[in-house]
Structure formats: C-alpha cells, structure tokens
Amino acid sequence: MQGNSLHGKVPSLANLHKLERFSLTSNNLGSGGLNDLSFICDLTRATNLKHLGINMNNFGGVLPECTANLSSSLARFYVSDNKLVGRLPNGIGNLVNLLSLYLSMNQFSGEIPPDLGKLQNLYQLDLAINSLSGEIPSSFGNLSQLTKLFLDDNNLQGNLPLSLGDCPNLEILSVPRNNLSGIISPKIIGLSSSYIFLDLSRNRFTGPFPQEVGKLINLEYLDISENMFSGKIPSGLGSCIKVEKLHMQGNFFQETIPLSLASLRGIQELNLSRNNLSGKIPEFLESFQLLQSLNLSDNNFEGMVPTKGVFTNATATSVRGNSNLCGGPLEFHLPKCKFKQQKKGGLSLTLKFIISIGCALLGGTFAFTFLYHCCVRRDIKDDSSSGSEKFLRLSYQSLLKATDGFSSSNLIGAG
C-alpha cells in the first residue's frame, strides 16, 4: 500500500495472522498523536511477518514496547521519517533475525539500547537525525555482519568504542554532528580494509589521526573536518588511492602537505582549509586531472602558487588567508613573486649573482697583475739605459794615444 497518499488512522490488523509483508511507506497516515502506532501490537500475531515498512508518514507518539514481540522472522523494519518521540524499546534486541533497521529522521531520545548488540545478523542500522544521547554501546562490536552504521545528527557523547574494530565488514561509518570526543584508536581505523565511507566530522575528536588510515585501500570518502585533530597529516593517506573526496578542514594539522598524497590521482574534492599547514603548495596538485574543488585557505602556506590544472579555475580553488603566497593566476589577486621560480637543473639567481661577482673579481685581478708587470719591466729598462749613459765611449786607439802606449808614468797604480 505504499505511495498511495493514504491518510488517517490505520485500522485494527488483529486478524492478519498469515501476513508476511506489510508496507505503508510514503503515505500521509497518522496524525502525530500518541496512539498512532497502536496497530503494531496487532501485528504481533503475524508470526511469519518478514517485512514491516511504516516510514515516510506522519505517525507520532512512541514506538510501543510490544515492538519487541513482533515475529522473530522479521528481517526488515523501516520506521524512518515520522514524528516519533521517546525512548527506543529495550526489547528490540529480541528481533534476532533483523537484517535492516531504519529508525532515522524522528525525535527519539534517551540512550541507544545496548541490546541492539544482540542483532548479530544485522547489516544496516540507521539511527541518524534524532535526539539520542549517551555513549555508543560497546555491544555494537557483536554486530559482525554490520556493513552500514548511521548515527548522524544526535547528541551522542564519549569515545568511539574500540569494539567497532571488531566489525570486519563495516563499509560505512557515519557519526557527524555529535559530541563525540577523545582519540581515534588505530584499532577502529586499521583492522578492516572494507571502509568505503568514513564520516567523523563536526565532533570533538583530538590527537593525531592514525597512520593506519593507509590500510583503508577501498576508501572513497573521508570527512574528519571540524574536529581538533593535530600533528601532521598522516602520510599513510597516500595509500588510499581510491579516495575521491577528502575533507580535513577546521582542525589543527601542522607542517607540510605530505608528498605521498601525490598518488591520489582520482581525487575530486580536497579541503585542507583552516589548519596550521605551512611550506609550499606542492606542484603535484596541478596534475590531478579529476580535481574539481581545492580549498587551501587560512593556513600558513608560502611561495609561488602553481598555475596549471585546478589552479586555472579561481572559482574552484581557494588560497585566501595565506599571507606569504605570491604569483599564481591573476584572479587570485596575489602579489608578484620577487624571484622567478627556480627551474629544474638551472641555477638560482643568487648563485648566478655570486658567480658573476667572482668572475669580475678574478678578471680584475688578472688585469691588475698584467699592468703591474708591464710597469715594472719598463722601469727596469729605463734604469739600464740611464746607467749606460754615465760612461764615455772611448776607442782603443784613443786610450793608447792618451796613455803614451800605456806608459807606467801614466798609470794610477798597479794591481
């Protein structure tokens, strides 16, 4: 009877003993009153009931305690998107053959019943968008077949229980917008490679994010934004080569973007804004051909902004709030870089300047030495010429005549 715009109150169903499937999904049934779900108690007589769908209506009131007495054959129970209030019935764990339990988008309050941990065949549990409080039961570790767990938008507190690491088939863990806190244990992150979707955003988690995230080789979506994670971005993320969306904004991550992220060739969205990251924006981001959205704003990045790939689209890329950045496309309105980016295999401007000065000094030294030697040789030649002009040039005949044949009377002395 789903999707027929039915409205009003559901009549008594006490005589439907052989009913196996009952679906009122997507109607306008119920008035938001306290007794809207009284017909569920009639269905406890349907011992072969396997499917019960009352989601997407206007049912109000509480989920009655007789829910725990529904057929043990019940495999699928859909109650989402109504106006139900109050606590979840404690005996709901008696429905041991449940495969899917959807209670989201109501106003359920109080703690999650620990006996949900008895549902060892359960593979889908959706409690999102309620007002549930307290801690996530450690008994969830008994749900060995669980593949999807949605706890979004509640008032849950405390740590993620370590026992979640005992759910080897968990593909989706979604707990955003709660008051969860503490350090994320490597056991929760690293024991299973089955995670495809992991959303821990908008809580109060602290400490470093585990390096064991690198074991999540099938991970496609990771959102740990708006927490208080600190330390380095785990280099292990580079092993998550199937990641398409990575949101880490609003934390206290420090230092540089790890080079290992260069292997995330299929990434489509990357948000690292509002952290304490520093260093240069890695050039490998230019080569991500599928990257459609990149947000690096409000960090401490420095140096030249890359100019290719996603950086050519100013509407898809944000680098604002990094006061030491320069260059990049004109649309970023950044100051010009003082020096051109050093090319591979080339010499930096500083080194070129030093070499030029060295060559100039060396050339000057050679020139000075050459001029000095020229001057010294000229002085020596001049001295030799002036010394020879001090003596008269006399021939042998003149000397012979003047001394009367070298007579002894004309000699000054002998010796």
Token duo for residue 346:
């080339």
Residue 2 above 50 pLDDT? yes
The pLDDT confidence band at residue 298, using thresholds 50, 70 and 90, is: very high
Paired residues of 254 in beta bridges:
232, 276
pLDDT at 387: 44
Residue 231 above 90 pLDDT? yes
**Hey, where are the domains in the chain?**
7-332, 349-410
Question: Which one has a higher pLDDT value, 275 or 410?
Answer: 275
Q: Phi-psi bin for 268: left (phi > 0), alpha (psi -120 to 50), beta?
A: alpha
The count of residues in the chain is 415
The pLDDT confidence band at residue 398, using thresholds 50, 70 and 90, is: low
* Cα–Cα distance for residue pair 228/214, rounded to 1 Å: 20
CA terminus-to-terminus distance, the chain: 154
**Which CATH architecture is the domain 7-332 placed in?**
Alpha-Beta Horseshoe (3.80)
The upper half-sphere exposure of residue 369, i.e. CA atoms within 13 Å in the direction of its Cβ, equals: 6
For tokens 């054959």, what's the residue? 73
The sign one gets for the Cα dihedral 348, 353, 358, 360 is: positive
Residue 215 above 80 pLDDT? yes
Task: Provide the H-helix boundaries in 61-203.
Answer: 186-190
In this prediction, residues 85-102 reach a mean pLDDT of: 95
Token duo for residue 367:
């020139």
72 close to 48: Cβ distance less than 8 angstroms? no
- Give the pLDDT confidence of 144-186 residue by residue, as tens digits: 999 999 999 999 999 999 999 899 999 999 999 999 999 999 9
3-state class of 382 per DSSP? helix
The sign one gets for the Cα dihedral 357, 362, 363, 364 is: positive
User: What residue type is assigned to position 169 of the chain?
Assistant: N
In this prediction, residues 323-342 reach a mean pLDDT of: 83
For tokens 């001057």, what's the residue? 375
The pLDDT confidence band at residue 383, using thresholds 50, 70 and 90, is: very low
pTM for this prediction: 0.79
